[in-house]
Structure 1
Amino acid sequence: MKKFVYSAFFWLFCSSFILGQVKWPAAAIPENLRENAHAVMRKSETFYTVRNSGEGQRKVHYIVTILDQQGIEYSTLTVRYDKLSKVTNIEGTLYNTLGEKIKTLKKSDISDQSGISNTNLFDDVRYKVGQFNYASFPFTVEFSYEETDRNMLSYESWYPHFDSENLAVEQDFFKISVPASLDLRYKELNGIGAAVTEENNGIKSYSWMVKNLPVLEKEPYAPRKIKYGPGVITAPNEFEVEGYQGKMSSWKDLGEFDNVLCKNRDILPEETIAEVKQLTSGITDPVQKVKKLYEYMQNKTRYISIQLGIGGWQPFEAKYVAEKGYGDCKALSNFMKSILKSANIESYYTSIQAGDDKADILTDFPSQQFNHVILCVPMKQDSIWLECTSQTNPFGYLSDFTSDRHALLATPEGGKLVMTPGYGEKDNLQHRNIQVVLNEEGDAEAETSMLFTGILQDDYASAISRMNDDEQKKFMYSQIHIPNFDLVKFSIQNEKKTIPVSKVKNSLLIRKCASKSGTRMFLNPNLMSVFNQILPVTDKSRKHDVELINAYTETDSVMFQLPAKAIIEAQPAPVNIETAFGKYQSEVKIKDQKLYYYRKFIRKRGIFPPGSYAELADFYKKISKADRAQVVMKL
């Protein structure tokens, strides 16, 4: 019966193909592209034409087969546009498993949606969304559209894998054309291959093609810079945006363009200048002056994004922020810069790629790679860095949102690329002191006193500033990794320092803190810091370096008051492991019917060679084993 069904399917497939009804049959996808894939890009073409320094055109056409529910996102076309761009000629076609056309995208299937978010007061970002509501897998969709672009600060970037872990690529083609007088800068990434170039009638073209790329294999702890897989990033030497002209053949040029956008936007109302003078009267230490004025800015303003045309790049005037009390990262940083200027303190408007765990920019390729603006205040000793969008950040603290990466200072001499400060294992601390009373049934009462500093306190600081009492309690439940417990009471206190501190106290009732079997009780003395990160190890050779981003130090001191009848039968031996990636120590001691557990884990940051991955995996495996070691008691 199965043989008959397969034969019938094959006959139907062949018949349809001969009759010309089949275009993209799912059965034609090579088997190696199906492995670990939820979708396969059958064919993709992107043509980007630079008409002049102020305008470009993008033409996109692609066909993708969705293999299962996890790939359903590819059945929707989403195209962003705004005041500086226009989307036209959207077309779409739906094909069934056999590759037969079953539907064409109608105008009624295309919606026009606002891109305004909760933090955006005004925003001209919108989305054209075309969608097929179909889920008989596998099926295929074909989309195409055209876009006119007048935001020429950025040219097209091309990543065949779309930064997806489960998309295979059968064929993808990218071509960019520019007038010979403008030139083009580009950078080929992660083994994409060399460009094919040609020149006709004063137009230079550069093209790349890839075929038969399986699902992108993302190795654990691979450097952030390779996460997109093979690709190409392009950029202009000269550009124009809404009448503002600039260059970016060097970082100096790009920073100078920021100066052009900020020119004459630092004028403050007289009453604001008077407030600044009053606030800083009698303060002689420049650092304390900056601190006083930063806290003044925090109390006076709030973050709301306003993105309209060139406003996506240019800050609103300082006077506007002073009067309205709000602004986006550009406006608030410019406002803070203007305040400091009125106090005769120099500072630099600073562009940066923000985000937790974000890849650093490509420092050898000057281009618009930034999504955020902060402020740098140069001092004789160390520069002061100010996150101007936060009403709660401690003075001089960046958090992992903007720390340890390159940023572009807009100095009077032009752009200057520098590193923001990073936070190491001495800055990011977690100290736990826990007192536990264990009864004969294995239940327990616990009092915890915890201290978090640096980036490890970020979540707790956010809980205080943004959550009500009920939300804070839910948050605390999410932070305590014990199987069965009740949170009786808790408190969180924050200390605003350059390296900020959160102090957290909990009272807990823990059910089955220790498990019983007959007259024996089994206890894991590591109550709250069990390491769960087991890294996969395969026979394949590691391709990429190992990058550890965040460094930190954890220390635990736990005291268990044991039941009066408990007799220790077995306890874990002390563990001491030291590697290039960090250090781990743990020890159990028994005294006066009390069990004392000590643990210390230091994780370092850095980039290590590919061959070191197996050593890292072994290190983490040993930590996980030591963290699960049990004490055996007889009652």
Structure 2
Amino acid sequence: MKRNLYTLLAIVLWAMANPVLASNPDLLKGANAIINQEEKVFTVHSLSKGTTYIKRVVTIFNEGGKDHAKLYVHHDKLNKVDFIKGTSYDRNGKKIKSLKNSEIRNVSASSADNEVLDNRIMIAELTHQVYPYKVEFEYQTTTSNMLFYPNWVPLNNSKTSIAKATFQVKMPKGMKLRYRESNLSQGVKQENTATHDVYNWEITNMTPMDSEPYAPSMIELLPMVRTAPSDFEVQGYKGNMDTWEAYGKWINQLNEGRDALPEATKAKLQAMVAGIDDPIEKINKVYHYLQSNTRYVSIQLGLGGWQPFEASFVDSKGYGDCKALTNYTKAMLQAVGIPSIYALVNGGSNEREVLTDFPSSQFNHVILCVPTKQDTVWLECTSQFESAGYSGSFTGDRHALLITKDGGKLVKTQAYTAKDNLQSRMATVKLDETGNGVAQVQTRYTGIAHEDHLDPIHHLSPEEQRKWLYRSIGIPAFDLKSFSFDLKKGRMPEVNEKLELSLRQCVTVSGKRMFLTPNLMNRWTTLPQNTGTRKYDVVRSSAYTNVDTIVYEMPAGFALEFKPNDQAFDTEFGRFESKVNIDGRQVTYIRTLQMHKGRFKPEVYATMVAFMNDVYKADQQQVVFVKNIQ
């Protein structure tokens, strides 16, 4: 406690001596650190070369800000580190230490066994145990990968303030800079020299950002400048990025001539689909062949980060990254008369949406688009287990860039609605007088709702599956007697789960009464806070439907004393309905909850919390039985 007070006093005294903070003390409120100065300069030398210089001075107030004392600089074959310097100072401005080159670690960026990368990370650290203290880092990198111009995100931590941060881009005369500004109080200031057009941005006196439940992603809210080239060159491949069409043409250059298959393989594929007329069946055959004969390995070597290995390489080696496996699948489908389209996408359940109005390299994954007369089939070519045509949470409902023969074209991948993402449960529970019971539970999961089961089904042993179920089942006290999973592949895959459970104290017994909470496995147990005045939009990123039907057989000798009223709430966020029916000793509980995804105005947040609170209360309602006294 004394140490914390001493640290706080030191921060106050330090702030009083700092003219910027003395005039704007709000910079200290809620901040773990303050960026005193950040200077970022990107200089374009040519279509194929540029340098980035960064100097950052940060004062760190507590443990929560110590990440600022660490510097991570990525490098690879196309990006070189010219120098790294660093110095730390104590609260009185006295130098603690200067960074030595021998103290800079150079480690591989690879974190998995199936990665082959030339990406590495230089790590410099100047942590200190007495707060506050100041660190100063300065470094420069040179790149020959001009597909990417840098983004400027000076505030990348919600608990950080900025006294001053600047960003400058120097473009040779005659070369065009493309940029997109977000959440800036003032835009670019442009100046010219004899040799360069110079673009300048500045942020001053920015306080920490508030967090809110269900807010948009931080990347959408932070001040940012995105930059991108017009004309560029990477390892001899020249391109233009003014439009998605032009960018797609550059990708076509990289892919040209890399889809040739050995004649023996083409003959094997053609024999495999002989006599099949249905294109969907042909696609499924080829996709199954891909999954049975290849495996995914992430290979990022030089231009290999964007250029696929030849189809013949994958055919002979049996492995490849997303680009290579997609290109290989495209070649195999072509061999059996099915045209398809290579497509760039952002893969991941929480990946940012593509900025459609700013053509640039915004993608991290490649999939295959197979148009048919009936529908469009999307193929995830890196998975040995995925269903053909299922995009799910990894690549579904987002923009993808089709690399057509005429260039790039943005389209949306398949969206999955609340009805698609279904969890439908049917359970029967037989109770005894002590409140214990035996339950038979069958649950059907479809669409995105089935995805949580995929890893346990494919990668866990039966005993590990059992442990996973114990962690996953939302019942306070139970024994798992038996279980089974049945996975059905398809465009809308599903998992059917069967459980036999022995329930302990499923019903509360108090004197002659039994208190039954009929929602057995799907109660809401937490609620978002009502934060008062809302600043940001409300974003719900998931849509699903839950249907629970639970039939209880009460023990003999008990009569109904209280039954809760049926509940129904219908809002723009979702719909809830619950019913309890009593027929002698049989209690039937039916609960339906459908939640929508969407973006809503800040002022409706309180309404959403009220709806969730209504659902929470309805889930806790009880049926009361009383024992007949003879």
Q: Pick the TM interval, shorter chain.
A: over 0.9
Q: 1:630 to 1:94 in 2, by over 3 A?
A: farther
Contact 1:567/1:634 (8 A) holds in 2: yes
Q: What is the letter of the counterpart of residue 203 of structure 2?
A: V
What secondary structure is seen at the aligned counterpart in 1 of 2:315? helix
1:480 corresponding residue in structure 2:
473
Q: What is the letter of the counterpart of residue 498 of structure 2?
A: K
1:53 corresponding residue in structure 2:
47
Given the alignment, which residue of 230, 235, 243 partners 2:228?
235
2:133 corresponding residue in structure 1:
139
Contact 1:159/1:228 (8 A) holds in 2: no
Instruction: Report the alpha carbon displacement of residue 260 of structure 1 after superposing the two structures with TM.
Output: 0.5
Q: What is the letter of the counterpart of residue 160 of structure 1?
A: P
Matched, 1:87 2:81: yes
1:626 corresponding residue in structure 2:
618
What secondary structure is seen at the aligned counterpart in 1 of 2:344? strand
1:115 corresponding residue in structure 2:
109
Aligned counterparts of 1:467 and 1:171: Cα–Cα separation in 2: 51
Aligned counterparts of 1:96 and 1:225: Cα–Cα separation in 2: 32
What secondary structure is seen at the aligned counterpart in 1 of 2:67? helix
Instruction: Report the alpha carbon displacement of residue 50 of structure 1 after superposing the two structures with TM.
Output: 1.1
What secondary structure is seen at the aligned counterpart in 1 of 2:348? coil
Q: What is the letter of the counterpart of residue 608 of structure 1?
A: F
Contact 2:330/2:340 (8 A) holds in 1: yes
2:56 corresponding residue in structure 1:
62
Aligned counterparts of 1:439 and 1:45: Cα–Cα separation in 2: 72
- Identical counterparts, % of pairs: 41
Instruction: Report the alpha carbon displacement of residue 13 of structure 1 after superposing the two structures with TM.
Output: 6.0
Contact 1:46/1:175 (8 A) holds in 2: yes
Given the alignment, which residue of 588, 610, 627 partners 2:580?
588
Aligned counterparts of 1:9 and 1:367: Cα–Cα separation in 2: 48
Q: 1:251 to 1:367 in 2, by over 3 A?
A: same
2:288 corresponding residue in structure 1:
295
RMSD: 2.5
Instruction: Report the alpha carbon displacement of residue 216 of structure 1 after superposing the two structures with TM.
Output: 1.9
Q: 1:26 to 1:67 in 2, by over 3 A?
A: farther
Instruction: Report the alpha carbon displacement of residue 30 of structure 1 after superposing the two structures with TM.
Output: 5.4
1:566 corresponding residue in structure 2:
558
Which one is further off, 399-408 or 190-199? 190-199
After TM superposition, the structure 1 = structure 2 runs for residues 325-474 of structure 1, keeping only pairs within 5 Å, are: 325-474=318-467
Aligned counterparts of 1:489 and 1:227: Cα–Cα separation in 2: 46
Q: 1:369 to 1:12 in 2, by over 3 A?
A: closer
Q: What is the letter of the counterpart of residue 331 of structure 1?
A: A
Instruction: Report the alpha carbon displacement of residue 198 of structure 1 after superposing the two structures with TM.
Output: 0.8
Contact 1:332/1:389 (8 A) holds in 2: yes
Matched, 1:496 2:489: yes
Given the alignment, which residue of 255, 260, 263 partners 2:248?
255
Instruction: Report the alpha carbon displacement of residue 80 of structure 1 after superposing the two structures with TM.
Output: 0.8
Q: 1:139 to 1:512 in 2, by over 3 A?
A: farther
Contact 2:163/2:206 (8 A) holds in 1: yes
Contact 2:20/2:163 (8 A) holds in 1: no
Q: 1:8 to 1:584 in 2, by over 3 A?
A: closer
Q: What is the letter of the counterpart of residue 384 of structure 1?
A: V
TM-score after normalising by structure 1: 0.93
1:21 corresponding residue in structure 2:
none
Moved beyond 4 Å, runs of 4+: 5-14, 24-31
1:74 corresponding residue in structure 2:
68
Q: 1:565 to 1:99 in 2, by over 3 A?
A: farther
Given the alignment, which residue of 552, 573, 578 partners 2:544?
552
What secondary structure is seen at the aligned counterpart in 1 of 2:121? strand
Q: What is the letter of the counterpart of residue 37 of structure 1?
A: A
Aligned counterparts of 1:261 and 1:527: Cα–Cα separation in 2: 56
Aligned counterparts of 2:10 and 2:223: Cα–Cα separation in 1: 36
Q: Deviations 1:37-62 (Å, cap 9, x if unpaired)?
A: 33332221111111111111011111
Matched, 1:130 2:138: no
After TM superposition, the structure 1 = structure 2 runs for residues 217-232 of structure 1, keeping only pairs within 5 Å, are: 217-224=210-217, 227-232=220-225
Instruction: Report the alpha carbon displacement of residue 224 of structure 1 after superposing the two structures with TM.
Output: 4.1
Contact 1:190/1:226 (8 A) holds in 2: no
Aligned counterparts of 2:113 and 2:405: Cα–Cα separation in 1: 32
Contact 1:26/1:138 (8 A) holds in 2: no
1:42 corresponding residue in structure 2:
36
Given the alignment, which residue of 271, 277, 282 partners 2:275?
282
Unaligned runs of at least 5 residues, structure 2? none
Contact 1:25/1:97 (8 A) holds in 2: no
What secondary structure is seen at the aligned counterpart in 2 of 1:339? helix
1:215 corresponding residue in structure 2:
208
Aligned counterparts of 1:105 and 1:553: Cα–Cα separation in 2: 56
Contact 2:106/2:122 (8 A) holds in 1: yes
Which one is further off, 485-494 or 305-314? 485-494
Q: 1:146 to 1:632 in 2, by over 3 A?
A: same
Instruction: Report the alpha carbon displacement of residue 505 of structure 1 after superposing the two structures with TM.
Output: 1.2
TM-score after normalising by structure 2: 0.94
Aligned counterparts of 2:7 and 2:32: Cα–Cα separation in 1: 26
Q: 1:477 to 1:7 in 2, by over 3 A?
A: closer
Matched, 1:155 2:166: no
Q: 1:211 to 1:567 in 2, by over 3 A?
A: farther
Which one is further off, 604-613 or 239-248? 604-613
Q: 1:110 to 1:452 in 2, by over 3 A?
A: same
Q: What is the letter of the counterpart of residue 133 of structure 2?
A: F
Which one is further off, 549-558 or 624-633? 624-633
Aligned counterparts of 1:455 and 1:295: Cα–Cα separation in 2: 21
